[in-house]
Amino acid sequence: MHNTKRSSQSIKLLYFFPLKFIGLLTHQESIIISHVDLCVDFESMKRSTFITCILIGLVDAFWNKAAQIIPSSLNPLNLLFFNRCMEDLGCFYTGAPFFHPLNRPISLPPVNDPTPKFMLFTPTHPNSTYLLEISKESLKNSSFDPQLESKFLIHGFLSSLGDDDVRFQTKDALLESGKYNVIIVDWTDYNGPPYEQAVANTRVIGAVVAKLIKFLRKETGISPKSVHLIGHSLGAHTAGYAGERVPNIGRITGLDPAGPCFQNSPAEVRLDPTDALFVDIIHTDGADIILRGLGMNEPLGHMDFFPNGGSLQLGCVRTSQSDSAAGRAINFTAAWRLNGCDHDRANRYFHESIQSKCKFDSVKCDDYEDYEKGKCNKSNSISAYMGFHAQMKTELDNPAKFYLRTNAEAPFCAK
């Protein structure tokens, strides 16, 4: 299988013929195609691994078709799932679409009534942490200014929010460059292993974030359009769940949204363009976890940015140990700890973009190969800034993919 690319088209024909025969090629077509491409492009695969990869895709396809045909009330698998309901937050079902035999075989209920901390920083109190609670008294005693835009920073899996955490660096950059309410969402009590539990908890943490935004709207009159949610990894999907509950959120920035348990999932399971008026994504580790990636390689927003192709970032070194941990695809915790450089780069790019005079200029292109060949440039394509200064371009068709190169170390923006 060392020369699998040459047989890509024939493999697709063999793969798609039975699916077309049973009428399976519906909205899942693009996902299935990407899965086949994933299999045939992994040149180091052994024959047995390659065949397994294709079989996984077939199981995935037939599962989705069955879900379309069989009413949920008649599906015996639904007996294995249940709702976890919480006052003011609603119910969280563990079955489909939040269960899938391949994409999310372990679907756990979220924790009961979580209490994430909301760390408020404002222009008048840029360095003193105020723990904002969802109560009139707490709001009254705070320096929250309803006349300012509000930036929510949401961390991901395993983040500890130490003093050197990039969220605090981003907070400082924001308050040095403008006047904002900056709220760091601390859900460190709920983001630890097992990974599948942290995945489940993103749903309820997103619900609590939405509850806070609704409270601020009711008590201070803020517009959801003035809210910008910035989430990394699992935090990106958390932002999506919040946006799903609050119509007309102004912007959500997804910083390398987590891939495991989200890749190839329906829109309601992951961050998607309907979660805010403007959804922009920075992909830095976008490969399937089986192929050693922690992010997502599929477009998720109105504008998706793929620096250095969106997978391997310049200056990040993969060791055989990290490759092994990620390649097992079952030890997510080990993969995150050993293989986090590429995944974290989205944080670094966004942080730098806030104050840098260099604007992370990118060009719209169909794929990175065409970009590398120089087929896409400012003279024949649309350009856009990646990061803090990204702006919605109404003339674009979704999804719009943008590519750029970066430096291997800070400053990352390449002029």
Binding-site sequence positions for Ca(2+): 270, 272, 275
- Candidate list 60, 256, 280, 344, residue with the active-site label: 256
Q: At 228, list the tokens.
A: 């910008």
The alpha-carbon radius of gyration of the chain (Å, integer) is: 21
**Can you tell me the distance from the alpha carbon of 360 to that of 372, in angstroms, rounded to the nearest whole number?**
17
Active site residue 343: yes
Q: Classify 356 as helix, strand or coil.
A: coil
**Can you tell me the distance from the alpha carbon of 166 to that of 14, in angstroms, rounded to the nearest whole number?**
47
Active site residue 155: no
Which positions make up the binding site? 270, 272, 275
Nearest of 310, 284, 278 to residue 398 by alpha carbon: 278
Distances (CA, A) of 153 to 22, 72, 111, 185, 351: 46, 37, 21, 6, 11
Check if the beta carbon of residue 97 is closer than 8 Å to that of residue 269: yes
Q: Which residues have a Cβ under 8 Å from the Cβ of 294 and sit 6 or more positions away?
A: 233, 256, 258, 259, 260, 285, 326, 335, 336, 339, 340, 342, 343
- Candidate list 155, 237, 343, 351, residue with the active-site label: 343
- Candidate list 107, 159, 233, 356, residue with the active-site label: 233
Which helix or strand (DSSP H or E) is residue 346 part of? Answer: helix 340-355
Active site residue 233: yes
Sign, CA dihedral 184-229-239-285, equals negative
Residues annotated as catalytic (active site), given as ranges:
233, 256, 343
